[in-house]
A and B are shown apart, each in its own frame.
Chain A
Amino acid sequence: MLVPIEWLNDYIDIKDIDTKEFCDRMILSGSDLETCEYFCEEMENVLVGRIEKIEKHPDADKLVVCQINVGQEEPVQIVTGAPNVFEGALVPVAMHKSRIPGPLHGKAKEEGGTKITKGKLRGVTSYGMLCSAEELGFEDKVVPVAHRDGIWILEEEYEPGADFAEALGLKQAVVDFDITPNRPDCLAMVGMAREAAATFDRTFTYPDTDLEEAGEGQASDFVSVEIKNPENCKRYVARVVTDVKIQQSPWWLQKRLMYAGMRPINNIVDITNFVMLEYGQPIHAFDIRQIKDSKIIVENASLGEVFTTLDETERKLTPEMLMIKDAERSVAIAGVMGGLNSEIEEDTTTIVIESANFNGDSVRATSRKLALRTEASGRFEKGIDPNLCEAAADRVCKLIEMLGAGKVCKGRVDIYPNPESAKTIDIRVDRINKVLGIEISREEMVKYLTNLEIKVEGEGNIMTVTPPTIRQDLVAEEDYIEEVARLYGYDKLPVTLPKGNCESGMSYERSLRDLTRETLCGMGLNEIQTYSFVSPRGVDKVRIDEDSWERSFVVLTNPLGEENSVMRTILTPNMMEVLARNYTRNIDSVMAFELGNTFMESMMGPDQLPDEQYSLCIGMYGKDADFFTLKGIVEELLTILGIEDYKFTAESEYGVYHPGRCARISIKSTKDLLVWGHEVDEIGIMGEVHPDVAENYGMDGVRIYCCEIMFDTVVRHANTDIVYKPLPKYPSTSRDIALLVEEDVQVGDIIDVIKAEDDTILEDVQLFDVYRGKQVEEGKKSVAFTLTYRHKDKTLTDEDVAEVHNKVLDALKEKINAVLREM
């Protein structure tokens, strides 16, 4: 909402308040602002000049040489190429050594303005420049059509030689207030005047609506109004003006509009726009010649109706759109835009002024469906007080009378089936103080409220309050608490801390996520975070099976694009994207993890919230990356989370990974954690990324290692309680063995066989070598282990150890045909 300070002074005298202070105090009382712009600050030595004589330029067809009276003894000679200059015209003259705020035509705006000096144009000296409105700092969209493409020609009389900015009152501040959606009343000069009055504890005056009504006859003689859809049109006020003379508006009115961001058009349009900005009430004007049978009917569009709006665009209407019709046809889309068929024209003499209240939701729906947003529709959408219609219609008429633009007929046609009144409620002085943590008097509160035109009655603790109907946001006690708080000043509220004590804490699950991040970072992995919504093609790129669960996506109905259109079911595709991005940026080695949510449709059906499960994805490539580094990281993490009974099992069918370098990870279930009777819980999968997957991400030939772990399942098994085990009192003894086994016997199986043989003194089994080659026959390998033995109550003798050790060796021979090699 652009508020020119000069205009605001029409309603409240704040001339003595510095603009900066005005802004600061308005912010603190609740009117936040975007910017405060000072117009024409950079204008210097630009004078009003009258063109005395225009001659052709001797050497250029498109240039003319003007002699201009700028109030000095001699006229000033200026060369211009503008097509709209004429002898006698009053124009802005940027003199030699002047500054203008705007950029020169086609140039970029300069900080501090553009310097103008004399210069030669095709051999003729120009002692300055004639200026357009844009060159003087106005945006093209507010420049009046009359001089939009040329020099600014003044329509009113000014003394040549006068300072241009001063003569026209150009130097002024315009504040762009940022109005929150609960305060549509502030989208109007009157509303901002009310706020300023309350902020500075001053009075403000409403616009003058005292009418002469010199027109022949009553408004109702000219027009009748019928509302067929009272739900979407709460009120319709019509006034009639005869003897209309369409002209340019006077400068003061043009100026108001230009500073408020609107382009002056002609007196009638300008007045309707002016009143819209003044009251926040959109106004429309029809040429009565075009209203068939003088009937205005508010009703919905017909099925399949096509209608041409003022902007000469054909619009396809639907039956829920509210229209203004005459006896035969539509003449306007209610609250959005008028029709071309009833537009005010140069020869229009009698007009109907429409000041109506249309339902915001209906206007929003229509505007959205037609993709047509206007000043009017934007205002209706936010909600307008139907009680404004009357004053706004009168104000339009008052301005028409003031400008001599027509004669206003007596009375109004006012259809208002269900008049709305303000809601009166009781609020409590002590409650206000209690919520705000202050102790102020009833009198002080009453002052704040009455300054906002809220009527306060009753006595003692109870204040019976009635807001002005324009304040549709004031409905309950808490709304009034805010009014008191903001006018008292948030800055003056005391600063205290809540009295109660609370223990802080967090869920076990969250603490395990923190622990996991700490652990992985400690092992040198960087954390990444990626979008929760992904492209459904990600699962294709990582070669997930056609019918696999990872493809059962929770789908967005209105995604920004395909790449963010479904919720992720796994993290691996995002991890691959990140690895690939780093790889293409020549980062030679990456170790990263993401711990984030994945989403699956609820088992209770799609009308329930999806299941959100935390997943952990680790990904790496580069010099330190290999299968066993990744496996080691996973094992250490599981250990830190207190999980001991985990198992890695070879997997060759999962599309993401190299068939010979992939393992499923599972945890042995304890009884109380049995899920669907499974004795093991699968928690994830890891491996070397399949070369085809790597290729899909542009990482051909790069060895990438990934794992994805269902973190919530891990959490179920985790046990972070630490229990001290006494240190051993007796020494251990170890035996190294090298076994010759078939190539396809896995180390894990061998360890399982060894461990299964004894649970008394066999303390540990560690692999220390795997050897293939010389001295080992083809198709076999040598696998070497250290077995550690210890008894908790005594020192083991060789015989004690031999007994168990031989049993182990026998079992190895018998179960997996592992032959002991000579060490």
Chain B
Amino acid sequence: MQTQLNNILQAAKEQLANAATLAEVNDVRVKYMGKKGEVTQILKGMGKLPPEEKKELGQAANKVRNEIEELINEKMAEVKAAAKEAQFKAEKIDVTEPGKVVKAGVKHPVTLTIEEISKVFMNMGFSIVEGPEVETVFNNFDGLNAGPNHPARDPSDTFYISDDILLRTQTSTVQVRTLQKEEPPIKVIAPGRTFRCDTPDATHSPMFHQLEGLVVDEGITMADLKGTLDSFAKQLFGPETKTKFRPHHFPFTEPSAEMDVSCFKCGGKGCRVCKGSGWIEILGCGMVHPNVLKVGDVDTEKYTGFAFGIGVERVAMLKYGVDDIRLFYENDMRFINQFK
């Protein structure tokens, strides 16, 4: 019996040594350890033996069983590892092959620029409001303190629908609308389309976008105007940006100013973008003219305010280095795709 056990162990060892696949190892397991397996049979046969033999042989049989069991497990692990190894080798890919195209779409650069500017102002507590593209002459001119003979009223500058209705030439119309609708404190921006009779060329488009800003509250000063716009410039163009305010003229603000930012291409040393001056004109602004506040029945003694207007395409062109405004409205996908 003992010999038989030894033979079984020996045979199992040999077979396991030759087994190369998971299936072959399993065959070995079935052959010796399965229900009808050789070791199992011997253990089953134990019952018929006398008790002494039973004990002795039982120990020997169990030993063999354990040994085979262990060998099988070892071999099983070995074969599994080899199988994985082979699989990995077979499944190796060339990671330098191009990725499958999953294309995200792109927002129009004008949208992107408006979003970016809006985000800066919303972080400073501004709300977004809107007004129509087709407007009244009153909201575009009279309500904004432009005299009856203001040159911009001329049909060579402004598109008209009728004597009283026009395509707004500036988003400042939203100042009038907001002042008529809201009570101070007012802190809004108004992005949108504007129209002027300019024949399209590299720097002109008969339709373009502006972003208007209006703040009206008690105690608003020109220093607040400077602070707000200086902060805007630093957030949009980087913390190193410097600003310069120059006196200017707009009918709806007094005092009025234009704001230059230090050239973000050359940092102020002078380059092609800033035409050598180191500064780039970025927006018009000023303290809201009392005549405009009066249109909204605002108490001009109690409240003061400031307003500003930013040319969106201008900012986009400067920021992205676009040299022809017409590209924005051609909508060539090779152009749009660059604004990812």
Interface residues of B in 153-197 (CB under 8 A from A): 155-156, 159-162, 164-165, 167, 185, 187, 193, 195, 197
Contact, CB under 8 Å: B105 / A521: yes
Contact, CB under 8 Å: A504 / B255: no
**Interface 9-mer from B2-10, B50-58, B245-253:** B245-253
Q: How far is the CA of A498 from the CA of B245 in the complex (A)?
A: 18
Which one, B105, B159, B227, B228, contacts A524 given CB within 8 A?
Answer: B105
Quick one: given A482-B255, A498-B215, A558-B155, are A609 and B104 in contact (CB under 8 Å)? no
Q: How far is the CA of A591 from the CA of B337 in the complex (A)?
A: 11
**Interface 9-mer from B15-23, B76-84, B126-134:** B126-134
Interface residues of B in 121-160 (CB under 8 A from A): 121-130, 132-136, 149-151, 155-156, 159-160
Contact, CB under 8 Å: B106 / A527: yes
Which residue, of A494, A495, A522, A581, has the highest number of chain B Cβ atoms within 10 A?
A: A495
Quick one: given A494-B226, A496-B224, A606-B162, are A526 and B132 in contact (CB under 8 Å)? no
Point out the residues of chain A lying under 8 angstroms from B124, CB to CB: 497, 504
Contact, CB under 8 Å: B108 / A27: no
Contact, CB under 8 Å: A436 / B105: no
Contact, CB under 8 Å: A559 / B149: no
Quick one: given A182-B249, A523-B105, A524-B105, are A560 and B149 in contact (CB under 8 Å)? no
Which one, B134, B187, B304, contacts A599 given CB within 8 A?
Answer: B134
With both beta carbons as reference points, the residue of chain A lying nearest to B164 in the complex is identified as A607
Check: A548 CB closer than 8 A to any chain B CB.
no
Contact, CB under 8 Å: A521 / B222: no
Point out the residues of chain A lying under 8 angstroms from B336, CB to CB: 526-528, 592
As a 0/1 sequence over residues 296 to 308 of chain B, the CB contacts with chain A under 8 angstroms (1 = contact) are: 0000000010000
Which residue, of B104, B123, B136, has the highest number of chain A Cβ atoms within 10 A?
A: B104
Closest Cβ of chain B: how far from A178's Cβ, in Å? 10
Point out the residues of chain B lying under 8 angstroms from A485, CB to CB: 222, 247, 255
Point out the residues of chain B lying under 8 angstroms from A533, CB to CB: 159, 167, 195, 206-207
Contact, CB under 8 Å: B125 / A504: yes
Q: How far is the CA of A556 from the CA of B134 in the complex (A)?
A: 11
Q: How far is the CA of A559 from the CA of B159 in the complex (A)?
A: 7
With both beta carbons as reference points, the residue of chain A lying nearest to B156 in the complex is identified as A558
Contact, CB under 8 Å: A529 / B290: no
Point out the residues of chain A lying under 8 angstroms from B28, CB to CB: none
Check: A108 CB closer than 8 A to any chain B CB.
no
With both beta carbons as reference points, the residue of chain A lying nearest to B102 in the complex is identified as A524
Contact, CB under 8 Å: A437 / B331: no
Check: A72 CB closer than 8 A to any chain B CB.
no
Point out the residues of chain B lying under 8 angstroms from A525, CB to CB: 105
* Interface residue tally for chain B (C-beta within 8 Å): 83
Closest Cβ of chain B: how far from A554's Cβ, in Å? 6
Closest Cβ of chain A: how far from B279's Cβ, in Å? 10
Point out the residues of chain B lying under 8 angstroms from A597, CB to CB: 132-133, 193
Contact, CB under 8 Å: A527 / B107: yes
Quick one: given A506-B127, A533-B167, are A581 and B330 in contact (CB under 8 Å)? yes
Check: B14 CB closer than 8 A to any chain A CB.
no
With both beta carbons as reference points, the residue of chain B lying nearest to A497 in the complex is identified as B227
Quick one: given A490-B257, A532-B207, are A527 and B221 in contact (CB under 8 Å)? no
As a 0/1 sequence over residues 403 to 447 of chain A, the CB contacts with chain B under 8 angstroms (1 = contact) are: 000000000000000000000000000000011111000000000
Q: How far is the CA of A476 from the CA of B121 in the complex (A)?
A: 32
Check: A370 CB closer than 8 A to any chain B CB.
no
The interface residues of chain A, by DSSP majority, are classed as: loop
Check: B212 CB closer than 8 A to any chain A CB.
no
With both beta carbons as reference points, the residue of chain A lying nearest to B251 in the complex is identified as A182
Check: B256 CB closer than 8 A to any chain A CB.
yes
Which residue, of A517, A529, A531, A555, has the highest number of chain B Cβ atoms within 10 A?
A: A529
Q: How far is the CA of A585 from the CA of B187 in the complex (A)?
A: 45
Point out the residues of chain B lying under 8 angstroms from A182, CB to CB: 249
Point out the residues of chain A lying under 8 angstroms from B290, CB to CB: 476, 478
Contact, CB under 8 Å: A609 / B136: yes
Quick one: given A527-B336, A529-B331, A612-B132, are A437 and B207 in contact (CB under 8 Å)? no
Contact, CB under 8 Å: A181 / B207: no
Quick one: given A524-B105, A529-B111, A582-B333, are A183 and B246 in contact (CB under 8 Å)? no
Closest Cβ of chain B: how far from A192's Cβ, in Å? 15
Which one, A438, A521, A557, A560, contacts B106 given CB within 8 A?
Answer: A521
Contact, CB under 8 Å: A529 / B328: yes
Point out the residues of chain A lying under 8 angstroms from B107, CB to CB: 517, 521, 527
With both beta carbons as reference points, the residue of chain A lying nearest to B155 in the complex is identified as A558
Point out the residues of chain A lying under 8 angstroms from B199, CB to CB: 560
With both beta carbons as reference points, the residue of chain B lying nearest to A383 in the complex is identified as B149
Contact, CB under 8 Å: A436 / B160: no
Contact, CB under 8 Å: B228 / A497: yes
Check: A564 CB closer than 8 A to any chain B CB.
yes
Check: B210 CB closer than 8 A to any chain A CB.
no
Contact, CB under 8 Å: B257 / A503: no
Contact, CB under 8 Å: A581 / B105: no
Point out the residues of chain B lying under 8 angstroms from A795, CB to CB: none
Contact, CB under 8 Å: B247 / A28: yes
Interface residues of A in 587-621 (CB under 8 A from B): 587, 590-592, 597, 599, 606-607, 609-610, 612
Check: A364 CB closer than 8 A to any chain B CB.
yes
Q: How far is the CA of A510 from the CA of B108 in the complex (A)?
A: 16
Q: How far is the CA of A521 from the CA of B195 in the complex (A)?
A: 27
7 contacts between A and B (CB under 8 A): A32-B246, A437-B222, A437-B223, A478-B255, A485-B222, A494-B226, A526-B105
List the interface of chain A (C-beta within 8 A of B).
Answer: 27-30, 32, 180-183, 360-361, 364, 434-438, 476, 478-479, 481-482, 485-486, 490-491, 493-507, 510, 514, 517, 520-533, 554-560, 564, 567, 578, 581-582, 585, 587, 590-592, 597, 599, 606-607, 609-610, 612
